[in-house]
Structure 1
Amino acid sequence: MYKPLLWLFLALLINPAVYAQEEYYFPGEKFDPAIPSPSEFLGYPIGEWHTRYDLIVKYFEKLDEVTEMAQLQTIGYTHEHRPKVILTLASAANMGNLEQIRIKQVQLADPTQSKPDVNTMPSIIHLGYGVHGNEPSSAEAAMLTAYWILAAQSDLAQNIRQNAVIHIDPTLNPDGRDRHSLWANSNKGFPPVADPLDREHNEAWPGGRTNHYWFDLNRDWLPLAHPESRAKVEWYHQWYPNVTTDFHEMGTNSTYFFEPTKPYGSENPVVPRKNYDDINPRFAKYFAKYMDDIGSLYWTKEVFDNSYPGYGSTYPDIHGGLGLVFETASSRGHVQSSQRGDITFAFTIRNHVVNSLATMEASVDNRVYMHDYLREFFESAKSEGAKDEAKSYVFGDEFDESRNRLFVKFLLDHKIKVYENSSDLTVSGQSFKKGKSWIVPTNQPQYRMVRTMFEYEKEFADSVFYDASAWTMAAAYGMPFSAAASAKSGTEITEVAVPNFTFPEGKAYAYLVDWTDYYAPKMLFEMQKAGIHVEAIHRPFSSQTQDGKVDFTAGTLMIPLGFQKLKAEEISAKLKELAAKNRQKVYAVQTGLNLSGIDLGSNLVSAIQQPKVLMVVGNGINSYEAGEIWNLLDQQVGMPITKVNSDQFGRINLFDYNMLVLPSGSYNSFSEGQVNHLKDWINRGGTVISMKNASLWLNQKGISEELPVELEEAPKDPDSLPFAVRNDFEGAKEVGGSIYRAELDLSHPIAYGYHRSTLPVYRNTDIFVKPSENKYLTPVKYAADPHLGGYISKANLEKLKQSAGVLISPVGQGRVVHFFDSPNFRGTWFGTNKLFLNAIFHGESMD
């Protein structure tokens, strides 16, 4: 059992500064000595060290142990198996009634249920901290805030305990935080060094901002590509908080930012104006007062984007709450020089502490108002949905069951109502088959999220974007969909059905696996790993199978029983196991003579080489893009990929590999000898997958010879413009993450598994390259009218129309596969992943 006086005495012996420190963060406040402060528990003043995540969790466990006003729960685990925790704080009375409070809050967010009495309901406040691991002040502030809520004796603290339920997530990104904390602590000087050039302030690549796979989790509330976000969003829908915070850090020479963000230009199109025009300014007055009290400088209404739905400060706005982003100047270490003097870690922590308190005070003062807004939000959403000309969206890919399941589950994870399609439909010229398509009505509480999933947006109040300007998730999944004037539907889907295929019994001449399904590449790799010889059939054909005549597309996998090291019965047993695991249909044929098309022994059938993939990472390389590739091969294919730092490339014998991936980045550190080794390897049959500006470097080195797009009548800039408009004018020339319609050559290996000649693609680069001079080697081009959604300037759109999306450069016996779009963007472009995986598995057949 915890002994508070003994604990305090021991802490003071360890470090006398720990008790006096609270005066800096909470001047004049008195605290209950039965509640240990973070400094007492840790044995050092907050701000003196970067606290490891496990110690933060242990401190929260201690709070859970010593008071009935605290409850800690684990909601999930990170990739590196760190627990994702939520600490819930409230008065003893509210904690004893927690489930009833939660049920009423969810009821309030459901306009189909009667509205509870909001006058008696506590404010539900979610304080979220530390989504970027190398913005560490917020997690320290989380501990101090939790301590203040439980131990402070002021009238304000007592009022908040009585009238609020506070949920604290100390670190949305534990893996990244610990990566950064280790760096900052192990490079700390005694005394600390404030020089910005010091190693402490300059993390090694990839830095601690991102999670295990180098993803920015502050973009993942919508895609849900990672377990951290999936656990968080699942928890969020159990509570529908009235207010959610999102604490960050920015440049050392900055001051402090709080909302409102930039009017109109940074706002999400589905969020009601009341959020921006009334609620945000109402809360901002509290933040200003608290910052004025401590003399910290601040600013509002500039730069920061609130439009992309995947932000931690935007997702709540689309769910009837108020999402709030805060940014403090960063010490990026323990102390760093700035234009205003030295910025200390403790100073950055205090800024976030006071705004945590301001958020809670504003939330409690506006408790009834925010509850009314929550109900109003979902009532108006349902009402707007009922008036929408589109009464529903119909979607479904009749050829790819796995991708259908992924998208249906994704919609359900966001609490969108989905129904079976009970009849064959043709909508706007597209066919949707019963049993292989679904219906999402617009007349539902999540109407605004429905719009987020299915609408394309092309008109914007601003042309400069902090991030993506398009996020139509149906397009990301490559999902055929159409708005319908009817909402007729079948049974509501509550869980995703899993197919159960029957494996063919008896002797076979060969087995066939259709390449269409999203997880066919995973099946292929696991077959190869098991020692099974697999070939690709490069033309369409029809075969007699256990299901009768079946038409197969180019790219179909064949497992011939006559060319295997394993015995036929071993092959059958292993295939049965892998097919069940990966939900793949396996067909058996009894002859190599096909019903139509080429036969199984044709010269247009070839063995598939097992990929041995090397990817360059490290200094100069785009860590986001490298992480997307690593995540795809790890999580979706189960394929190991060797990651080598760019400065270690000279030690690599490329002939140990058959596939080299060059993510976007700078490769100018490669020596002439390394470049010559690369050229020799490609000339002898190696395959390079090159992303965006890596292709420009290959051109520069003479490895490939592709040409940029140049407009005959390119628009000219004015001779003179005001200095103040420079950022807006130049920023408008960039491609702000947008969606386009591409055209596929379905006979080319890059398009194996696709059945439609058009495909939505995501582009976030202004690199425009002409199609290949070889008329057969530009398998992905843009349609005549390519723009589907997001921002692009007129000049860039004209360049895009003349550009290649994917092209192949033959180099001796090898080749380079150039990608100028982002086929793996944020781990959620399932519709274009197959393009990249085709380059991995069929690269040697592409030229």
Structure 2
Amino acid sequence: MRKLLVSLPLLVLSLHAQKAEFWPGAQYDPAIPTIQQVLGHEPGTRITPPGDIVRYFEALAAAAPSRIQLHDYAKSWEGRRLIYAVISGEENIRNLEQIKAAQLKLADPRKTSAAEAKKLMATMPSILSLSYGVHGNEISSPDAAMMTAYHLLAARGDQMIDNVRKNVVVLIDPIQNPDGRERFVHNFRVNEGLLPDESPVAAERAEPWPGGRTNHYFFDMNRDWHAITQPETRGRIQYLRQFLPLVQVDLHEMGGNSSYFFTPGSLPYNPNLTQDQKDQMNWFGRNDAKWFDKFGWSYFTREVYDEFYPGYGASWPWFYGGMGMTYENASVRGLVLRRSDETLYTFEESVKKHFVGSIATCETAVDYREKLLDSFYRYQVTAIEEGQKEPVKEYILPRNGDVGAVDKLAHILAEHGIEIRQAKAAFRNGGKDYPVGSYSIVLAQPRKRFIRALLDPNTPMEPDFLKEQERRRKKKLADQIYDVTGWNLPMSFNVDCIGAAEVSQGSFETVTGAYQPHGAVSGRADVAYLVPWGTQAAGRFLTAALRADLRLLSANKPFTQSGRKFPSGTLIVMVKQNPAGVHDKVAAIATASGAEVVATNTGWVEDGVNFGSANVGALKKPAIAMLWDAPTSSASAGQTRFVLERQYGYPVTVVRTSSFGALDLDKFQVLILPSGGYAGAFSPVVTDRIKNWVREGGVLVGIGAAVSYLSSPQVGLLGVAQEGLAQDSGRPADAAKPATGGTGSAPSTPAPGAPAAGPAPGKIFTSMQDYEKAIRADRELPDSVAGVLVRAKVDPETWITAGLPETLYVLVDGRAIYSPAKIDHGANPILYAGPNELVASGYLWEENRKQLAYKPFLTTQNEGRGVVVGFTSDPNFRAYMDGLNVAFLNAVFRYTGGGGRGGAQQEQQ
């Protein structure tokens, strides 16, 4: 018996590791190493960590160098390699540079005639990109990537694979998010037991905060493709632009009780997709279905996963003339899962499904090679033709206001392959004058549809789709809008973008490469250096100067010197108040930050505050703490930290909520609460400590749902309240607690005067409207919004709005609408615009549009010598709302309170 007990675990593991047949009847070249030979396990029997995935691809490249190339394209934030493999037949690999050049020729019909294009298409292979594991806890696809690469290299006697090698160049990005996958694998391994656990709630699949979905800074990188905030995304776009694949597949996972999804995708479709592209989805979907039918696997199409938002990995290829597809696989989140129908689903089966989907896609890329190439070329031709015919012939980005933001946006467009010109001299178009350095984007170019997708003020959804969403909403059913409906980049950056009916004439040069800030100092100062506030570059100067221990002053009011008006918040570096090396430090920081720095030899001003005014104070270098871990939203925490650390170079101490009670708050001047459900997270003792810390001079910044916590009766640090749904009668909206369910209803209460028991009062309904009114809940929250860009108006006469323009654009999502703070409790420095001008881009429910108008985006409340700041929507949303950066920096660095320890407070001079 003892012997049996000892050997039982080994027996079980041995049975589990038996070799499965991934492709029936396949014969493989023994010269190509298997996963078992390199990593020590059969495919689908272990969840492979990211380092081992790279190691396996290195082994394949070493074994078959004539048929596979391996390239590094970036490093993750945690220093892990990001690689892609190019797999094809020997002749294609040998001629790879010529194939890439031919594809780029097809991408520009201004340089390649139809006859030349036809000649190229007759012989060149199609290019297919397969991308795996952008979400680190969607575990099956990277293991499927290894099996796909092995099968393409090693399969023998298979005519289909031979045709793929001859006619397709396959790009494989096996692990797009190694940092997130490492988090998942680590949690899985430290919680493994004797046997793989089939329980849906087993610790091995119950990921601790923040989970493995996101990268190091908790970004969902499948939302980043249009804004390019992350190095992983930037590297992918750079290498894909060298190939311009005709087809790109992004392989994902969904809930474990689902089946498998492949194209066609669901409505809404981005209106910039062509009919050719929509038709192509059916080619691939039908062939995927053929193979899934052979294996007896169920699947679905045309549901859930839309083709609307341009920030997905499967959206980006649509806009250069390729096609993108999302494949979604039911997730095991471990090695075996007992589903709700009591069937067992294994990791091995999930890997096999993504492997088969990948190979089926390769086959379709062969079968439709010439049609795909022809469609790609015609896409470019028709894009140029459309750009020539449309009323708007050109978009212009004037280089005014926050010129660094304008430059950054221009270079993002260039990174996408959009042709953009910068003016070497001032020019005029449509009766308007544009300064030197402004940018011109002519629509008559191959990327015309991407220009429209990113720069059009609004991208509409199909009317029938919207009608269906309103019907569902009326019945309190969840809407089918998958992601944000407004993403216009100029609005996100808060810069102007003007459509012109004619193409600008003048002297222009082409913009290339990623944005690199370049600032300068106007001269050598005898008295002071001035940095006009209100730009991202000035924000970078501020944080760098604080870290360099320069003594900084800031004006709380505007002033005019030498005929130039400087805005409130302008930074002042007094020469005599700083060490002898101040000139070199200022010059270096100006260059690196991109800030404009004006040297002045006098403290005299013609108007406004002098440098010695009581309205000019010294900014202190704050120590910043931020809450981390549950119940904090990982997305909000990650993007807030990213903005401060990576966009502005300022360190943040992140503190787990479980450790917060032991934190010595006196060592910090600023405390940030990212969005999260904090009710009950802190004991009354800890809450009192926070209140006392603020009263003694601390700056407390709450974001999103944290405002609900800070404004709750138990905390009382913000004088706003979350509103219930405003009723049609126009009576004031009830305050309501945030809803946790999907219907948006708050608990009903008996109507005033209603009997405690017995029958309800009788009513007669004379119309369906009477019935609908009668069944309405007594208290509801507004319906949730997927994501829409709205306008907000700025009160310029507050410390927190220094340097801001009169209008900002804010991304609003969710259902939270807050009443404004009473004048005797706080201030509302930034309010949403009125109902008729509120919506800037995207789709907003009518009731929300009416109720959100004139409500606060930003609210403040003084507490003793400190201040509490509340952003009712996240100003750092996905780190692409650059136009809100200055407002957020003001909250963190510019508090002008009573001389306590508030972050970057101003000391009286």
Offset from partner CA, 1:56-115 (integer Å, 9 cap, x none): 111111111111111101112111121211111111111111111111111112121222
| Match of residue 106 from structure 2 | 108
Shift, 1:560, TM fit:
2.4
Residue 56, structure 1, aligned to residue 59, structure 2: no
SS for the counterpart of 1:417 is: coil
| Paired residues of 1:18 and 1:43 also in contact (CA < 8 A) | no
Residue 791, structure 1, aligned to residue 808, structure 2: no
Among 711, 727, 748, which residue is 2:726 paired with?
711
Shift, 1:269, TM fit:
1.6
Residue 209, structure 1, aligned to residue 206, structure 2: no
CA RMSD of aligned residues (A): 2.4
**Against the structure 1 CA distance between its residues 478 and 641, is the aligned structure 2 distance closer, same or farther, given a 3 Å change threshold?**
same
Residue 78, structure 1, aligned to residue 127, structure 2: no
Cα distance in 2 for residues equivalent to 1:780 and 1:144: 54
| Match of residue 468 from structure 1 | 484
Residue 603, structure 1, aligned to residue 604, structure 2: no
Among 801, 811, 820, which residue is 1:751 paired with?
801
| Match of residue 661 from structure 2 | 650
| Match of residue 98 from structure 1 | 96
1:337-356 matched pairs, under 5 angstroms: 337-340=338-341, 341-356=343-358
| Match of residue 118 from structure 1 | 121
| Match of residue 12 from structure 1 | none
| Match of residue 175 from structure 1 | 179
| Paired residues, number | 812
| Match of residue 682 from structure 2 | 670
Shift, 1:638, TM fit:
0.9
**Against the structure 1 CA distance between its residues 329 and 497, is the aligned structure 2 distance closer, same or farther, given a 3 Å change threshold?**
closer
| Match of residue 766 from structure 1 | 815
| Match of residue 397 from structure 2 | 395
1:298-337 matched pairs, under 5 angstroms: 298-337=299-338
Residue 834, structure 1, aligned to residue 836, structure 2: no
SS for the counterpart of 2:857 is: strand
Residue 186, structure 1, aligned to residue 202, structure 2: no
Cα distance in 2 for residues equivalent to 1:413 and 1:109: 16
1:434-473 matched pairs, under 5 angstroms: 434-457=435-458, 459-460=460-461, 461-462=465-466, 463=469, 464=479, 465-473=481-489
Code of the residue aligned with 2:51 in structure 1: it is D
| Match of residue 530 from structure 1 | 548
| Match of residue 492 from structure 1 | 509
Cα distance in 1 for residues equivalent to 2:290 and 2:564: 71
1:223-238 matched pairs, under 5 angstroms: 223-238=227-242
Code of the residue aligned with 1:656 in structure 2: it is K
Shift, 1:733, TM fit:
2.8
Shift, 1:528, TM fit:
1.9
| Paired residues of 2:44 and 2:351 also in contact (CA < 8 A) | yes
Shift, 1:712, TM fit:
5.0
**Against the structure 1 CA distance between its residues 457 and 47, is the aligned structure 2 distance closer, same or farther, given a 3 Å change threshold?**
same
Cα distance in 1 for residues equivalent to 2:251 and 2:17: 26
| Paired residues of 2:18 and 2:42 also in contact (CA < 8 A) | no
Cα distance in 1 for residues equivalent to 2:84 and 2:366: 20
Cα distance in 2 for residues equivalent to 1:343 and 1:837: 49
TM-score (norm 2): 0.86
Code of the residue aligned with 1:522 in structure 2: it is R
| Match of residue 698 from structure 1 | 710
SS for the counterpart of 2:440 is: strand
Cα distance in 1 for residues equivalent to 2:379 and 2:726: 47
Offset from partner CA, 1:328-365 (integer Å, 9 cap, x none): 11111111211241221111101101100110111110
Cα distance in 1 for residues equivalent to 2:360 and 2:450: 30
SS for the counterpart of 2:216 is: coil
Cα distance in 2 for residues equivalent to 1:286 and 1:732: 44
Residue 809, structure 1, aligned to residue 861, structure 2: yes
SS for the counterpart of 1:25 is: coil
1:475-514 matched pairs, under 5 angstroms: 475-489=491-505, 490-495=507-512, 499=518, 501-502=520-521, 504-505=523-524, 508-514=526-532
**Against the structure 1 CA distance between its residues 422 and 657, is the aligned structure 2 distance closer, same or farther, given a 3 Å change threshold?**
same
Cα distance in 2 for residues equivalent to 1:211 and 1:366: 36
Shift, 1:438, TM fit:
1.3
SS for the counterpart of 1:102 is: helix
SS for the counterpart of 1:620 is: coil
| Paired residues of 2:319 and 2:449 also in contact (CA < 8 A) | yes
| Match of residue 29 from structure 1 | 26
Shift, 1:38, TM fit:
1.4
Shift, 1:781, TM fit:
1.3
| Match of residue 557 from structure 1 | 571
Residue ranges of structure 2 left out of the alignment (5+ in a row): 1-12, 470-478, 731-744, 746-767
Shift, 1:525, TM fit:
2.0
Cα distance in 2 for residues equivalent to 1:475 and 1:87: 37
Shift, 1:218, TM fit:
0.5
| Paired residues of 1:18 and 1:39 also in contact (CA < 8 A) | no
Offset from partner CA, 1:434-475 (integer Å, 9 cap, x none): 214211111111111111221122643334311111111111
**Against the structure 1 CA distance between its residues 422 and 576, is the aligned structure 2 distance closer, same or farther, given a 3 Å change threshold?**
closer
| Paired residues of 2:521 and 2:598 also in contact (CA < 8 A) | no
Cα distance in 1 for residues equivalent to 2:721 and 2:806: 25
SS for the counterpart of 1:677 is: helix
Shift, 1:498, TM fit:
6.0
Residue 286, structure 1, aligned to residue 303, structure 2: no
Shift, 1:714, TM fit:
6.1
Code of the residue aligned with 1:829 in structure 2: it is M
SS for the counterpart of 1:808 is: strand
Shift, 1:16, TM fit:
8.3
| Paired residues of 2:429 and 2:502 also in contact (CA < 8 A) | no
SS for the counterpart of 1:448 is: helix
| Match of residue 382 from structure 1 | 384
Cα distance in 1 for residues equivalent to 2:845 and 2:864: 38
Among 82, 86, 89, which residue is 2:87 paired with?
89
Cα distance in 2 for residues equivalent to 1:207 and 1:718: 46
| Paired residues of 2:284 and 2:364 also in contact (CA < 8 A) | yes
| Paired residues of 2:224 and 2:233 also in contact (CA < 8 A) | yes
Cα distance in 1 for residues equivalent to 2:48 and 2:649: 34
Shift, 1:53, TM fit:
1.2
Code of the residue aligned with 1:576 in structure 2: it is A
Among 155, 158, 182, which residue is 1:152 paired with?
155
Offset from partner CA, 1:358-417 (integer Å, 9 cap, x none): 101111101111111101111111111111111111113413232122111111001111
Cα distance in 1 for residues equivalent to 2:630 and 2:771: 38
| Paired residues of 2:271 and 2:460 also in contact (CA < 8 A) | no
Code of the residue aligned with 1:149 in structure 2: it is L
| Match of residue 750 from structure 2 | none
Residue ranges of structure 1 left out of the alignment (5+ in a row): 1-14
Cα distance in 1 for residues equivalent to 2:276 and 2:669: 57
